[in-house]
Structures are given as structure tokens and as C-alpha cells.
Amino acid sequence: MALHPEFPTSPYAILDPAVRWFPADEALRETTMDKLMPPLVSQLRKKVKEWRDSGYAGATGTSRSLLSSWFLTPHLMPQADGTMSEFQYYFGQREALETIVYLYDVVLLHPTTKTPWTISWASGRAAPPRIPRLTWA
């Protein structure tokens, strides 16, 4: 398994979508990444990064306030030795929350709303029934 040569050492660092873990040797990244990783994941990561870089444009006021509080406001936590240190979310936690808010507020992926996404439900033997499959329309 390969890490991009520019993969950061800190689990808190914001990752560029192109700098990600890849399930094969790094030499194969350019030729086989699209065959080994679901394309929706890569596309969604790029869109969430653009949205993050825009200051969460299109999010509701409540969502922007929460995202700002969670990720842009320092949170000092007491340590065992009496000192204070800054709490940080791991990037994976941050990206997961941002993705949920992006899909709900910006893409408007709601159970009852038509969206720019095609949603189908798998019911074959390979997957349990009612698992959503999202693709770009």
C-alpha cells in the first residue's frame, strides 16, 4: 500500500484530494487509481475541498456556525500536568462531518428531494438490501 510522497505526517493536516492513501504501489497511482478507488469518492473529496476553501459557501448559517466552532476556533484542553493544549479533530473526522453537511446543505441530498445525484438502491446478493449507491448524474 502506498502513501503519496507528499503525504503529511500529522493526522490533523488538511489533505489535498490528490494526496491520499492508495491501495497499491505508488508507481501505479497514475495508471490504475481510477480502477482501484471508487470515482465518486475522489470527485466528492474534490468538491468538499473546494467548498471548504470557499468558506463553506451555500451552507446554512447554523451549519457554518457549527463548522467554524468545530474547526476554526481554538479549543484549549487541560492536560494532566496542568498545562493547556489545543484540541484538534483528526482530518478524517473533519472531512466526514464536512461531507455530510456539504451533501445535506449544498447538494441538497435529502431523502425526499430531487438532486443532481442519481440514487439507486442495491438489492443483489453482493450487498444487503437498501444500501444507497450515489453517482454523479
Q: What is the pLDDT of residue 114?
A: 55
Predicted pLDDT at 6 = 82
pLDDT band at 42 (very low <50, low <70, confident <90, very high): confident
Percent of the chain at pLDDT exceeding 70: 66
Buried b or exposed e, range 80-118, using 16+ CB within 10 angstroms? eeeeeeeebeeeeebbebbbebbbebbbebeeeeeeeee
pLDDT of residue 136: 52
SS3 120: strand
Q: How far is CA 127 from CA 23, 30, 39, 42, 131, in A?
A: 22, 30, 19, 22, 7
Residue 127's pLDDT band, with cuts at 50, 70 and 90, is: very low
Does the structure show a pLDDT above 90 at 58?
yes
Span 65-122, pLDDT tens digits = 999 999 999 999 999 999 999 999 999 999 999 999 998 888 877 666 554 544 444 4
Residues 6+ apart with CB under 8 A from 132: 119, 120, 121
pTM (2 decimals)? 0.72
- The pLDDT, as a whole number, for residue 126 is 40
